[in-house]
Amino acid sequence: RVGLLGYDDRYDPDTDFDRWYTRGTAAAIAHWIQPGQTVLELGTGCGLLATYAAKVCGSASVLTVEADPLLEPTIRAVFAANDVTPDLVIAAVSADGAARHVLRAADFWATRTAEFDGSQAPGVPRVVGVAFESLLARHLPTIVVIDIEGGEFELCGVPLPASVRAVIVETH
């Protein structure tokens, strides 16, 4: 078990949520990912799916992006425990690449980003943004995995490069 810094330490690999979410998404990834492919994951969470992809495709073939900087130590610990080193970017993914506020939930998997005037919610952290299109151009993925708590809808209008074979999306 790896503690989730900055969150209620309630994440446990044996919870019903984890069995449903991680294994279901991992099954879709297992179906599509083959050695030698490249994976772009948006919404790293605690790093389990990026770890799985790195084990199958090799660490150099995986680029994963997480908006919440509080999760970075946990993600890196999960990577280290599994002897993988996928490329991790801490930024909020959007169509326009603008910075976003991180709206943290008690459960890390419900944390999301939003764009609003910071004066409306003082103390809500703001993170650097990155444009989806620039990530696609940088990594030329064959598989794109998206789980960004409602942010996926604005990415639908971004054209995908010809390299993309499949997009796996958790919608909210």
- The reported pLDDT for the residue numbered 132 is 98
Q: How far apart are CA 142 and CA 153, in angstroms?
A: 20
Task: Specify the pLDDT at position 21.
Answer: 53
User: Which pLDDT belongs to residue 155?
Assistant: 93
Q: Which residues of the chain have pLDDT under 50?
A: 1-20
Q: Where are the beta strands (DSSP E) in 7-117?
A: 39-42, 62-66, 87-90, 92-94, 100-103, 112-114
What pLDDT, on a 0 to 100 scale, did the predictor assign at position 9?
A: 39
CA 34 → CA 1, 29, 79, 87, 153, distances in Å? 28, 9, 20, 18, 27
